[in-house]
Amino acid sequence: MARHTDKSTSRFREPPDPRFWRLNRSIEFDRHLAPYDVAQSRAHARALNRIGVIGDDEIAVIDDGLATVAAELEAGEFGFEPGDEDIHMAVERRLGGLIGELAGKLHTGRSRNDQVATDICMAVMDASESAGERIAGVMEELLRLAKEHRDWTMPGYTHLQRAQPVYLGHHILSWFWMLSRDFDRFAAARKAASVMPLGAGALAGVNWEIDRRAVASELGFESVTVNSLDSTSNRDMVLDYLSAGSICLTHLSRVGSELVIWSSTEFGFCQLSEPFTSGSSIMPQKQNPDSAELLRAKAPRVIGDFTTLLGVLHALPLTYGKDMQEDKEPFFDAVETVEASLEMTAGIFEGIEFDRDRLADAASDEMLAATEIADLLVRRGVPFREAHGIVGDLVRQCVEEGRDLSDLRPDELSARSSELDDEYYEVLKQGSWLESKRSEGGTSSASLDAQIKLAGERLQQISST
């Protein structure tokens, strides 16, 4: 294996030990940075040309050579060699093979330290934008479903116990707003990454008055870093992406868990489409919600990626240490997992079907109206805690005797409270349970209509960013 040095000038006389080289070599995973490395190399070459380090007759040769490298990488025809330590050295080696010693001028005014930091910032910007696009796709499906099921009743749950009835459209939009926050987190990660470190050199800056802001603008950055030490040691932008990814997949895991429960025979609230389910190797009747189960399982993987990088950076002295090479594997793994999970989520919702009768039947349990009876007493001047106790006694009696709340006779009601009269039976009519939730953000038809309008406006806002 080679060390890419000339023995007459190199600090080293011996090649690296294979046992060290196996861990030191990062080309197997940082090759994902190749398009960014070539793009910034082309921008850096033009910056060096503007200050006279690279001549006008040389810049075209270098740029054409880098264009060839980019084309080879994109076509999968780039030949990596055993001696390529990382993507930077691989690109530089190949460029030298194309244009000769002139390629050596390209490393003027930069270090692999600020070079890799710039590459990773560009990768985070693209990955964050890509995640946002996929989140928007899921949100569009959820809004469509919410509109289609705006008047379908179902039980809402706490502790996985029936609590109060809601409209299915209202529940679906709860997933929508979770993802809306995820979109903002990825947007923040992109913004954090849009500060260019190139020009910081190894740690102290460079000796050439390169127009960093011109390079930043050319590469799509919003600004440049202000401290060279911080520039090469910073990986906050990767942490920001991994944090956003961890929260997003945690949200998807909660959605997946509900879909697994709802699609069970015991619940029967929904059915996932066949392309997103699997059969059993031994039980012919099975249609398993494997896609939703995978959503549950992917969250810990990305959380693990996040904690891995936190552990790498913890107590690490400034500026650059080889430890920081460990930023890429968790990042690339998380990007792949986040994007695949969001794409699958969109697919699940494209073909999901809900069972209106099963949902309505579950929502018809009169016990779900217990809070409504308590509120009736409150409207008549009974303190809520006292009303809560009165209704609790009624519920206990019905449970013990196997009766519904509407089965209680007027004399049984009046024995508990003089404020319980015929209106008690009116309250137990199912339609009032949902429409009484008139507060902003509640599940009444009017509130849900307003929420659907807000969700549509949110998607328009996202599409314009």
* Active site amino acids: 159, 280
- Look at strands 270-271 and 353-354 and give their pairing: antiparallel
Q: Which residues of 391-421 are buried (b: 16+ CB within 10 A; e: fewer)?
A: beebeeebeeeeeebeebeeeebeebbebbe
Burial of 443-455, coded b for 16+ CB within 10 Å and e otherwise, reads: bbbebbeebbeeb
Collapsed DSSP state (helix, strand, coil) of residue 462: helix
Rg (C-alpha) for the chain, rounded Å, is 31
The tokens 């409207």 sit on which residue? 379
Token reading at 66:
């880098």
Is 420 in a helix, a strand, or coil?
coil
Of 91, 103, 13, give the one whose Cα is nearest residue 58: 103
- Rounded CA-CA distance 188/240 in Å is 8
What CA–CA distance (Å, rounded) separates 335 from 183? 15
Half-sphere exposure of residue 124, counting CA atoms within 13 Å on the CB side? 34
Task: Decide if 138 contacts 179 (C-beta within 8 A).
Answer: yes
Distance CA 285, CA 230 (A): 59
Q: Helix 236-262 to helix 168-193 angle, to the nearest 10 degrees?
A: 170
* Sequence-distant contacts of 170-174: CB under 8 A, at least 24 apart: 170/146, 170/443, 170/448, 170/451, 172/142, 172/145, 172/146, 173/142, 173/143, 173/146, 173/448, 173/451, 173/452, 173/455
Strand partners, 157: 162
